[in-house]
Structure 1
Amino acid sequence: MDSNTEVLGGWRSGLCGWDVLVERYSRLVWSVPRSFRLSHADAADVYQCTWLCLAEQLTRIRRPEHLATWLVRTATRQSIAVVRARGREVSLDLWEPESTLPAPDEVAITNDRQRRLWSALMTLNERCQRLLRIAAHSPELSYAQVAEALGMNVGSVGSTRSRCLAELRRKLEALQ
């Protein structure tokens, strides 16, 4: 029996397993909406909705060893829904004090770097995109946790990550 099975079983029987689950997978769940470049508030909403969905579906989870994958998929669906909804809105932040705004040239340079990075990232295959997003947003996750979340073999996470980063570097150099 793996640790997720024990924790889920403990939570179902009223023990303190929920805190263990949240602590174990919090950064993974948080990394998904942030990888969609959602605002902090929207990412927090997705994060909360994902945990709410887990609480609602907890008794239906048949394979606790795949919990990380279930959480990533649920957070991804929630993030896509937010992106679609936000695509119909125009956001204006009129309450930002002018003194804290960066200089226009700093904004232009930052925007250009981000645009090039995201352009290069989006040309990678889906597996590399997902792996690099999780690595960037949840670097503390073990290879086993990343492998579980992405449905990969643990032994291939490091080499795949290296190949993906090398490909991303090549694509970024080509964009300069």
Structure 2
Amino acid sequence: MRDQDNAELLAKAHDGDQEAWREIVRRHLRLVWAVARSHRLSPEDAADVHQAVWLILAENLTRIRRPDRLSAWLTTTARRESLAVLRLRGREEPTDLWEPADTSPNPEDLALGNDTDSRLWRAYTTLTDRCRKILHLIAFAPELSFRQMAEAVGIPPNSLGPTRGRCLEVLRRRMTTETVG
């Protein structure tokens, strides 16, 4: 098996040859692990990424167009999975299990929150349709990629970041103007 190229190994693995699958994993095991760990994931998260990459490969054995570039494909897949884990972990908030959280807001916080919410929505309604659509997608569909968001809005993907930044800046200015005025 060690003398066979990736195309042969992928074909054999697709046909159920366990030795071919083991050889693919043996050849690329350290690469996939290194990519996951290079994203500073915990050992547990890196192991999850590692496992996910091999599962994705198993699901796509016949879709690999360039078997000679399998290492690059695995690297890209591991990077994407690592970034997905980082995005998910970034949304987690640690809680103190020993001290019950007081979730009831005090009256002052309620009043300030309602005022801020009202000012935000009034400023939001003054934005252009494009800006409202971009900010809506960011807030309510964060799982979309830049490309998917750009397609939904109808702009080139490389314009989405700067356009989003301008929209947020206009929103900030309008909220500030309303506070001062």
Q: Could you state the TM-score of these two structures normalised by the residue count of structure 1?
A: 0.49
Q: Which structure has more RCO (C-alpha within 8 Å, separation ≥ 6)? A: 1
Q: Could you state the TM-score of these two structures normalised by the residue count of structure 2?
A: 0.48
**Structure number, greater radius of gyration:** 2
